[in-house]
Amino acid sequence: MANHKQLVMIVDDREINRMMLKAMLLDTYNVAEAGNGQEALESLKQYGTSVKAILLDLIMPVMDGHEFLTAIKKTPYADVPVIILTGADDLKVEEQSLKDGACDFISKPYQPMVLKRRLQNAIDHSALNTLHLIQHIAEHDSLTDLYNRGYFFLETHKMLVGNPSIRFTFVRCDIERFHNLNSYWGDEGGNAFLKYLAEFFRQQEDQYSHITYGRITADVFCMCIPSSECNEEMILKALQDRIAEYNSRIFIKPILGIYEIDENEIPVEQIYARASTASQKCKSQHMQNIWHFDDKMRIEEMDEEEIISEMKEALETGQFVAYYQPKYSLKTNRMYGAEALVRWISPERGVISPGKFIPVFEKNGFIVDLDLYMWNTVAAQLKTWIDAGYHPTPISVNISRVSINNPSIVQVITDIVKKNNIPPSLFSLEITESAYMDNPEIMTDIVKAFQKNGFTVMMDDFGSGYSSLNTLKNIPVDILKIDMKFIEGEDQEGKGRIILSSVIRMAGLACRSL
């Protein structure tokens, strides 16, 4: 039969005392013994957290009770309750023991029932404290001690459904390009700043009749307050002032995404997503710090949900079609390959613009499946032409920013080409400039690996982002595709033409071919 008794430890240098206490406790507890504090610490390593309480004498050789209380704080067993065994009524001794961490006293002569009751009270109290600690850890962010994402969402839901007559506003706050600050300050400095920001949200608690707040992830904080009490301009001003007090030398831009909740029953996940959409919109506006989720975004959200609900079936039923946009050589005025472009032809809605579904797929990761589908489709088409006796020119395919982060991307595409028995020179690869800018060193290795396997690599949309001459100098692309904005619109002074000519000239020096 299993022994379910709890384990307690008696620490006393006098064996007769240990024997007497053990006899009183053995019918209720399992008992471990130690002759001094040092022996007790060694025994704790053996028994670990199975020791539920310690009965401790104060006057012992080697390591006395006071030294033991100090030493145990530095071990994983610091939360084990310690009851002092005392033979005298000495208030100073009791006061010092409590300061050192003892939880109770047992005075001689020991009464078995009193001893057991005090011992069990200490164990129960410790267990309750441990339970509260575990619960607190489960509900709070470890860095800032604010509510974590899950518990913040739960408490916000309770507040919303518990106050159906009150309209609430959800505020999402983050710092634009926080990763740059984190790189500048280091992880320790970045964490110190996040804890500083957390104090701002704690200070809001007394400002509103109802409020929930928490840290969602990284630099993202949220709070939910009554709409009638919400003045986002004042919130922003207070936040900016607090940030300036922390560091006025560095430009730190807080972003507020605002969603005025029209139905309190809406899942908080969806509420947060709408505030996040507003934040993303704000980040594309240079002079804006605040953006509201509006009706236009609501329509876009509905379109996105519809796209997500149909995407898997569309892929399985062949609704995605490869269109081939021809490329011409200015030297020969003859076609020099083509670019494979994906089109979604829905039986119900007709042709869906890539501008609508590609950003959604990039966000939810489905772009990886679509990339793979397009690569296989184009490779199969090239094989069909070759088998029919044609001599096709190179077809280029796009590699999304999501797919390029796959550590096996070179092997994946190489395997597709080998499976279809087509030369890699006919299967050109287009990677957007922004992907190069994200991690130039890794991209250089990937590009060289593709080239080593016989592929032609192009940089797509050059000039659409934060282009630099270093991009051309350091990454050995074969072909540069310049963004259309250089030749679109009116250019009466010819500036676009001059820039374009300069880029072509520099690219000719930097690229292996053009």
- Calpha distance 476→458 (Å, rounded): 10
DSSP state of 228: G
Per-residue pLDDT of 363-395, as tens digits, reads 889 999 999 999 999 999 999 999 999 999 999
Please say whether the beta carbons of 481 and 461 come within 8 A: yes
Beta-carbon contacts of residue 319 (< 8 Å; ≥ 6 apart)? 313, 344, 345, 346, 347
Locate 94 and state its tokens: 């009791």
- Calpha distance 479→510 (Å, rounded): 10
Buried b (16+ CB within 10 A) or exposed e, 185-212: eeeeebeebbeebbebbeebeeebeebb
Q: 3-state class of 169 per DSSP?
A: strand
Query: Matching CATH topology for 6-139 and 149-293?
Result: no
Per-residue pLDDT of 107-162, as tens digits, reads 878 888 888 888 888 888 887 877 777 788 889 999 999 999 999 999 999 999 99
| Sign, Cα dihedral of 458, 463, 466, 469 | positive
Beta bridge partners of 321: 343
Q: Is 28 exposed, middle or buried (0-12, 13-18, 19+ CB in 10 A)?
A: middle
Residue 161 C-alpha from the chain's centroid: 28
May I ask the CATH class of domain 6-139?
alpha beta
- Calpha distance 292→172 (Å, rounded): 11
The CA-based angle 229-233-238, given to 5 degrees, is 90
Query: Which H/E stretch holds residue 310?
Result: helix 295-316
Residue-level pLDDT at 1:
43
Beta bridge partners of 341: 323
Beta-carbon contacts of residue 364 (< 8 Å; ≥ 6 apart)? 308
Ranges of the chain with pLDDT below 70: 1-3, 88-90, 438, 462-475, 483-497, 499-500, 502-514
- Calpha distance 385→9 (Å, rounded): 83
Residue 358 φ then ψ, to 5°: -60, -50
Q: Give, to the nearest 10 degrees, the angle between helix 65-72 and helix 91-100.
A: 20
- Calpha distance 104→107 (Å, rounded): 10
Beta bridge partners of 459: 431, 480
- Calpha distance 461→433 (Å, rounded): 6
CATH 3.30.70.270 fits 149-293, yes or no: yes
Please say whether the beta carbons of 323 and 341 come within 8 A: yes
Residue-level pLDDT at 463:
61
Q: For the chain, percent helix, then strand, then coil, each to nearest 5? A: 50, 20, 30
- Calpha distance 285→301 (Å, rounded): 20
DSSP-assigned states of every residue in 407-434: TTHHHHHHHHHHHTT--GGGEEEEEEHH
Beta-carbon contacts of residue 462 (< 8 Å; ≥ 6 apart)? 433, 471, 480, 481, 482, 483, 503, 507
- Calpha distance 364→304 (Å, rounded): 11
Per-residue pLDDT of 395-426, as tens digits, reads 999 999 899 989 999 999 999 999 999 999 99
Residue-level pLDDT at 464:
55
- Calpha distance 506→344 (Å, rounded): 37
- Calpha distance 48→195 (Å, rounded): 34
Percent of the chain at pLDDT > 70 equals: 89
CA proximity to 261, closest of 222, 300, 221, 214:
222
- Calpha distance 83→89 (Å, rounded): 15
Residue-level pLDDT at 513:
41
Locate 274 and state its tokens: 């709408």
Spans of all domains in the chain: 6-139, 149-293, 304-510
Beta-carbon contacts of residue 461 (< 8 Å; ≥ 6 apart)? 432, 433, 434, 481, 483
Residue-level pLDDT at 192:
93
Residue-level pLDDT at 394:
95
Q: Using only C-alpha atoms, what is the Rg of the chain?
A: 34
pTM exceeds 0.85: no
CATH 3.20.20.450 fits 304-510, yes or no: yes
